[in-house]
Every structure is written in structure tokens, then in C-alpha cells.
Structure 1
Amino acid sequence: MPTAFRFFPRLSERQLGIGAAVVTVLVWTAFILIARASAARSLSPFDLAFLRICGASAVLMPWGAWLVARERARHPGRHFGALFGLSPLTFRLSALGGAFGGLAYALFAYSGFFYAPASHASVLLPGSLPLWTALLAAIVLHDRITPARAAGLVLIVVGDLLVGGRSLLHAFEGGDVWKGDLLFMGAAFSWACYSVVARRHGLDAVRATIAITVFAFMVYVPVYALLTAFGAVASRLDSAPAGEIAFQMLFQGGGSVVISGITFTKMIQHFGPVRSTMITALVPGLSATGAVLLLGEPLHWSLFAGLVLVTAGILFGVKRAAAVALMRSANA
């Protein structure tokens, strides 16, 4: 073993899972605040999605090509990889995961920030994720929704309604915040679909993140280029500052996709899809607090009540799931 690595202890699977959860929570919190702040600047949601995909592809596509080439060299007679040898997964899994986790999530989420504040995203993005994931896991993976988990999900639904319902009432007055709320719910549903796909097929964290990024690049970039060339979609890349473009590629691509994509999938492998999404209980509170302190957003009573209910619902689900797991291990 090289001398440089002798001082670093080998991490257990539990330590890796916990570490992945911590990194995911921090990046997701920063994503909400930065995406909302970006909506008030130069770029459109389609520009942000373009920079996100391009930034991630600059890292992941060469990585994917290397993985595919290595496997093909090890097994010369076996077909491996897809999408011109850039995705280490099959085309079906690359497209299935990429459609939900690569394209739909980014487009829904970035568009939502142009209508609704970050404080709404704080509740509705991570808040509705356990709800969608639990329902999809029950249908696709045949996971059982226990009474305790159902109670936690009810709290989440009531909290989401307190936040989204207020904006729906203001829709009759001509407000647009409700559009952003629905887009946030759509983004959470899309990511829940990806998380269940990853669990069902036992996808490796790195390979899954590479695959969905390669698929998103090959689908979105040509379509985006054609639509902007013909004027169907307005692009602001030509007028945006170079520093902002570089920052968005680095954070949205490198941070939100490469880092949190790998850590989230690793978290799924260790905790499972439902418990993984419930572990993100800190995200609503951290990002809502950041929105008030850093972005100057107001904290209405209904938003605060919704935040409390959603966080309580997530924490209740985590506590009950941990207690059940402890009882099972004790009886084993």
C-alpha cells in the first residue's frame, strides 16, 4: 500500500452510506438556494439545464468511455455499454434513468425557480420526494407502507398542501407561484422515479450517474441547439457573463450531478429508496432558513407550518424505520 494511504482508515459500508447522506443533504441545500438566486440573473431555465448537462458531461463522458473500453478489453467477445460506447449501462437503463433523473428533473426544477421562491422549493422538492418514492416503491418494488410510515407521509401531504394551497388561492388573483409549486412537485416525482429504477436494478452509483448524464447530453443538447437556432427557445448564453456560465457549469454540473448524483445513488444502495429520501429531512429546514437569511424571502405562517409538518413527517418516518430495523437485527 502506498505510504500516502496508510493513514486513512478503510471506511465501512455504514460509514460510506452516512457520508453519502451528509454530502447529498449539503449539495441539495445549496442547489435550492443557488438555483433560485440564478433565476434573478442572466440565464433562462433551459440555459441552466444546458450548462448543468454540459458541465457534468465534461467529467462523466470520458469516465464512461474509459469504463466501457476497460470492460470490452477484459471481455472481447461480450457486448458492453451503449450510446456509442460512452454509457456503461444498457441503452434501456440509460434511457429510463436519464429521462427521469437527467432530463425531467432538471427542466422541472429550474423552471419552477422562475415562478416560486426558494422557500417553497425547500418544502415541495425534498418534502414531496418521500411521498412519491413511497408510493412508487409500493407499486414497483412491492414495498410495504407500514402504519407509522403512512402517518409520516400524511404529515408530509398536509405540509405540502399548506404551502401549495396558499399559492393556488393566490392564483385567482393572478399570481404565478402555483406554477412553480407544481413544477417542484413534478421534479420530485421525476427524481423518485429515478431512485426506484436505481434500486430495482441495483445500479452502481458511478455507472448510473454516468449513464443518465450521457443520455441527457445526447438528447437535450441537439434539441436545445435546434430550438435556439430557430428561435423557438430564447437563449441568454450570449449575453451572460463568462464567470456566471463557468460557475453554473461547475456547480450545477460538477456539484449537483457528479457529486450528489453519486452520493445519492450510494445512499439508496445502503438505506433503500424510501429511507434515503426521508434522510433528507434537514434539507427543508436548512434551505428555508437560507432563503430567509440570504435571499431575503418572507416566511409566512403557512409556509412555516408546512415546513414543520414536512420535516416532522420525514423525521417520523426515519425514526420508525430505524426502530424496525433495530428490532429485526435483534431478533435475527
Structure 2
Amino acid sequence: MIATVLAASRDPARERRIGFACAFAILFVWTGFILASRAGARGVLTPWDLAGLRFGVALVALMPLVLRGVLRRIALWRILVMGATAGLGFALFAYNAFALAPAAHGAVLLPGALPFVTALLAWSWLGEAPTARRAVSLAVVAFGIALLAGAEFFATPGAWRGDILFFIATSSYAVFIVLVQRWRITAIEATAAVAVGAAPFYLPVWWLALPSAMAEAAWQEVVFQGVYQGLVAMVLASLLYTRALVALGSTTVSLFTAVVPALAALAAWPVLGEPLGLGALAGVLLVTGGMILGVRAGRVDVPLARP
């Protein structure tokens, strides 16, 4: 059943249904990633530990597919590029950013900035000029994210260092998204490539040289972060995102991620006791509306002229 869903369909209508189902699922997986990483930043484990658990668990889970030759048609240099962007580039910058800036900044800058960077790369690399409606939707999303961020976004001294790392992390993932579409990589291939291209290089360095608090952390924390970061946030998220990408295209799928800051903010209210003000609530509505407007943008829209 899973293999059937992950395989591309010749029926365009079925492809779109699968694509939208995967895109909606990724909203909740990425929202959970923000909350889990927020919990990790408050815990004992170091950012390097979170990355180690992410790559180690993912590699073990995907090794049966690798041994069966799932990557046999992918050139080694492309595997390394995918491992460096969606693997090392995203995870290392993101986890270290959570140690320098409030996790709420990550909720805004990781998924919130993704549609803008992806749209720019898709325009320059793939020739996918944004339509007029999609450009309006991006503007609405940007305004909504600004309301979500609010004045508190600038209230933490020195947080700008983490914000820069968040932006580098999301840019790394945007490069991966566009390359997967350009190279016509399947969901299973991309997911396995990220693990194989990152884990063998990172894990020995982490084990031998990087700061670690694995011995001090409770086993429950290690298991939770290993399962969520490695299986859910890396394996499942990569499968869902890449499958949606194959069905819908990079610009449409990346718009879904813009809703993650809104969902994370809403979830943090009951889970973490962080209430939302009126401005943030308005931001939630604007981000959601902007995503819907962008997703509904069809080919009848007028493309913007290339500068």
C-alpha cells in the first residue's frame, strides 16, 4: 500500500489527490518537529546529539532499502549533494540555531521562509515564474508571518545569530527541493540519499569529537528525540514532502509549509502554555488564507515577467 502511494501515478487527478494528502500530512509532521525541537532545546541533549540521533536512526531504518539497491540509479555526487543540503545543511544549522534563538523564531524562519526561497530558486533554476495570484499569496503569507513574529521576535538580545542559522537551514532545504524536482528523484530515493549522504560523514565526527550529553540525558528523552527526529522528522517527512513535490511541484508544496508557524503557534498555546495575542491570531488567519490562495493558483494566472 505504501509503495503504491509513493509510486507516481499516470492518472493526473489521482496524482493531485495524493500530492495534497502528503502536503497536508507534512504540516503536522513539521509542526511536531518545531515542538519536539523546542523541547530538545530545553532538555539535556546538545544540538550535535539531536543531529546524531536524527542521522543514526534514519540510516538504520533505511539500510534495508539501501542494501536492496534503491540508490543504484543515482550518481554518487548527487547523493552527496542531497546529504549535504537536506541532511547536514538543514539539521546542523537548525539544531544549533535553536540553542541561540528562541524556538518561536525557528517556527517562523524554518518553514515560513521556505516558500520564498523555493520560489526564487524555482524561478531562476527551473524557469517557474510565479503567477500573479501566487505572488499575491506570498505577499499575504509574508504579512501574516510578520504578525505572528510580532515585537517579541526582536526582544531577545543576540538572537539574530540563531536567526541567520535558521535562514541558512531553510535555504539548504530549498536547494534540495529544487534539485529533487530538477533531477526527477523519487520520494524513496531522495529519503535514502539524504541519510546515506549525511550519516557516514557526520556520525564518526559526532562520536569522536563533538560535545555530547547522551550519558547525562534520561533514556526517555533519548528515545523520544531519536524516534521523532530520525523516523518522523527525517524519514517520514522526507517521504511525504518528496512525494508531494513529485505530484504538485516545488512552488505549490512549499506554500503548505508557510502554515506550519501558524499551526505551531496554535499548538504551543495548550501544549506549552504560550497564549496568542490578537495580532498573532490575525497572522494565523492571514498565513492560512495566503496558502489557500497560492494552492488554488492555476495555470490561467498571468505569469510575472522575468526581470
TM-score by length of structure 2 reads 0.85
Cα distance in 2 between the residues matched to 1:117 and 1:292: 16
Q: Is 1:36–1:114's contact at 8 Å kept on the other side of the alignment?
A: no
Cα distance in 2 between the residues matched to 1:53 and 1:178: 27
Work out the number of aligned pairs and report it: 292
Match of 2:206 in 1: 224
Q: What do you get for the CA RMSD once the two structures are aligned?
A: 2.7
SS in 1 for 2:129: coil
Cα distance in 2 between the residues matched to 1:316 and 1:116: 31
Match of 2:91 in 1: 106
Match of 2:182 in 1: 200
Q: Is 1:32–1:121's contact at 8 Å kept on the other side of the alignment?
A: yes
Cα distance in 1 between the residues matched to 2:151 and 2:67: 48
Deviation, 1:308, is 4.3
Confirm whether residue 138 of structure 1 aligns to residue 140 of structure 2.
Answer: no
User: Residue type matched to 1:15 in 2?
Assistant: R
Cα distance in 2 between the residues matched to 1:307 and 1:113: 22
**Deviation readout 1:239-261 (Å, 9 max, x if unpaired):** 11122212211111111111111
Confirm whether residue 277 of structure 1 aligns to residue 250 of structure 2.
Answer: no
Confirm whether residue 184 of structure 1 aligns to residue 159 of structure 2.
Answer: no
Deviation, 1:301, is 5.7
User: Residue type matched to 1:223 in 2?
Assistant: V
Q: Is 2:262–2:283's contact at 8 Å kept on the other side of the alignment?
A: no
User: Residue type matched to 1:62 in 2?
Assistant: P
Q: Is 1:149–1:317's contact at 8 Å kept on the other side of the alignment?
A: yes
Confirm whether residue 267 of structure 1 aligns to residue 269 of structure 2.
Answer: no
Q: How does 1:72-221 map to 2 (within 5 A)?
A: 81=72, 89-161=74-146, 166=151, 169-170=154-155, 175-221=157-203
Cα distance in 1 between the residues matched to 2:45 and 2:273: 21
Q: Which moved more, 1:253-262 or 1:102-111?
A: 102-111
Match of 2:276 in 1: 299
Structure 1: 5+ residue stretches without partners:
1-9, 69-79, 82-87, 229-233, 328-332
Q: Which moved more, 1:151-160 or 1:235-244?
A: 151-160
- 1:38 pairs, out of 37, 40, 49, with 40
SS in 1 for 2:155: helix
How high is the sequence identity, in percent, across the aligned residues? 38
Q: Is 1:129–1:192's contact at 8 Å kept on the other side of the alignment?
A: yes
User: Residue type matched to 1:140 in 2?
Assistant: W
Cα distance in 2 between the residues matched to 1:155 and 1:124: 16
SS in 2 for 1:28: helix
**Deviation readout 1:75-100 (Å, 9 max, x if unpaired):** xxxxx73xxxxxx6211111111111
Q: Which moved more, 1:293-302 or 1:59-68?
A: 293-302
Deviation, 1:37, is 1.1
Structure 2: 5+ residue stretches without partners:
1-8, 303-307
Deviation, 1:284, is 2.5
User: Residue type matched to 1:185 in 2?
Assistant: F
Cα distance in 2 between the residues matched to 1:140 and 1:156: 23
**Deviation readout 1:100-132 (Å, 9 max, x if unpaired):** 101111112222323444443333222111101
Structure with larger RCO (C-alpha < 8 A, sep 6+): 2
Cα distance in 1 between the residues matched to 2:275 and 2:162: 17
Q: Is 1:159–1:308's contact at 8 Å kept on the other side of the alignment?
A: yes
**Deviation readout 1:11-42 (Å, 9 max, x if unpaired):** 94333223322321221111111110111111
Cα distance in 2 between the residues matched to 1:159 and 1:101: 26
